[in-house]
Structure 1
Amino acid sequence: MPQVLVVAAAVAVAFGHPESAYSVPVDPEKPAKYSFNYQVQDDASENDFGHQEARDGPDTQGSYQVQLPDGRLQKVSYTVSVDSGYVADVMYEGEPQYPADATAGYA
């Protein structure tokens, strides 16, 4: 029971004071600016995916890729702007592979 009270008190303090030591001050007068990326490549499971994006002001640009079940790598590059919205360019690398036993029983 004491642990529940401690957690409840911590939650109340966090929500009661949004400008805590862990919050980042936001100035709505300044344009947004950020950048992030991640990449995962696992040769054992043949998994390859990642994403990167950057924004400076109203425009955002980024790309991501994902290994598809048919063996191809799908790559998407995109931009987001006030004027044109979300615009994507989708490309594929490799040829689709369909194992013979994957379609067994669907005759």
Structure 2
Amino acid sequence: MKVIILAAVIVCNVSAGLIAPSPYGYARPYGVAHVAAPIAVARPAAYAAAVDDYDPNPQYSYAYDIQDALTGDSKSQHETRSGDVVQGSYSLVDPDGTRRTVEYTADPHNGFNAVVHREPLGAVKAVAPVAAYH
């Protein structure tokens, strides 16, 4: 009974304009506006230094190669960048036993271009079974 009386009081107050319905699904006192506080963004000194140290000709090179005889995992990648031109390739062994190699280039004039090569591997090793958890 108390819940019904409380609901009736709230409905009467909303109908009378004493409590304004909120767009967020709950009631708030009439006249209280929802105002978002301004957000101040303070950037650390490292950010300012990074912006000031803009490199118009970025360069990098990286590579990795994984050959795991236990699991049969075999993959590699290498990539280089000189300015706005990126070149690289990656390879992996597909489940059907073929090696997929993707050679790619990317630059502002030609966009991203990739060429995919597939080659069968000689003897495909069976993957070692994983121990079951008890």
Q: What is the TM-score when the length of structure 1 is the normalising length?
A: 0.63
Distance 1:88 1:40 in 2: 22
**Paired position in structure 2 for 1:31:** 57
Task: Kindly tell me the number of residue pairs found equivalent between the two proteins.
Answer: 79
Deviations 1:46-105, CA, capped at 9 Å, x for gaps:
21111111001110000000111111110001000111111111001106x8xxxxxxxx
Could you tell me which of 21, 44, 64 is aligned with 1:17?
44
Shift of 1:39: 0.8
Q: 1:29 to 1:36 in 2, by over 3 A?
A: closer
Shift of 1:32: 1.2
Distance 1:75 1:50 in 2: 9
Q: Give the RMSD, CA atoms, in angstroms.
A: 2.4
SS at match of 1:19: helix
Does structure 1 residue 44 correspond to structure 2 residue 52?
no
* Structure with more contact order per residue of length (Cα contacts < 8 Å, sep ≥ 6): 1
SS at match of 2:86: strand
Distance 1:50 1:37 in 2: 7
- Which 5+ residue runs of structure 2 have no aligned equivalent? 1-41, 125-134
Does structure 1 residue 62 correspond to structure 2 residue 76?
no
Distance 1:79 1:19 in 2: 32
Distance 2:45 2:64 in 1: 29
Moved over 4 A (4+): none
Q: What is the TM-score when the length of structure 2 is the normalising length?
A: 0.51
**Paired position in structure 2 for 1:82:** 108
Shift of 1:17: 3.1
% identical aligned pairs = 30
Structure number with larger C-alpha Rg: 2
Distance 1:65 1:19 in 2: 37
